[in-house]
Amino acid sequence: MSTLKKLNFITGNKNKLAEVRAILGSVVDVENQVIDVPEIQGSIEDIAKEKCRRAADAIKGPVLTEDTALEFHVLKGLPGPYIKQFLDALGHEGLNKMLDSFEDRTAEAVCTFAFCRGPGSEPILFQGRTEGAIVRPRGPANFGWDPIFEYQGTTYAEMDREKKNEISHRYKALVKLQNWLSETQV
């Protein structure tokens, strides 16, 4: 059984915080800190590890960080870990227009959680992936790219929170983290 009683989840996104608490709350107390951690360019895994290292150094203790990517198959994984910047610059319609000249609109939502025991420790990654497709926006536009990511006929934005928390990329990564916390002396 884990001896870790509290995790400092480094995020300024209240929706992500709510999802993490809903899924991990029975295993560990999830507290929140907002720290501005510069993000490097690189693979999803490289970005997640470096962000976690920097956050652990900043708070001088154990941290959990999260990075989300949206990979368009026809674009060989782009926008990937840069989805936030693409979404900010292009919006939901602009992301759709990127795919309009292609038949393939399949995509993969990727969530990578990184846990670090503290400064100097190597981050451990927990990744979840969900296959879907990019569609015209449907549902509330209050959580990133949820209105354009469709899973089995429904966009993430159209799903109620409980349904999304049972199938999402974030859920899959958190289950891996939850299992690790339950089996590991942290």
Residues placed in the known binding site for ITP = 11-16, 51, 67-68, 143-146, 164, 169-170
Widest CA span in the chain: 52
Nearest to 170 by CA among 34, 52, 24, 35: 24
Query: What 8-state DSSP symbol labels residue 148?
Result: G
Q: CB-based contacts of 92: which residues, under 8 Å, 6+ apart? A: 136, 137, 141, 145, 147, 148
Q: How far apart are CA 77 and CA 136, in angstroms?
A: 19
Nearest to 144 by CA among 164, 123, 126: 164
Binding-site residues for Mg(2+): 39, 67
Quote the CA–CA distance of 71 and 163 in Å, as a whole number: 22
Question: Annotated binding site, which residues?
Answer: 11-16, 39, 51, 67-68, 143-146, 164, 169-170
Cα→Cα distances 183→1, 75, 131, 177, Å: 6, 38, 28, 10
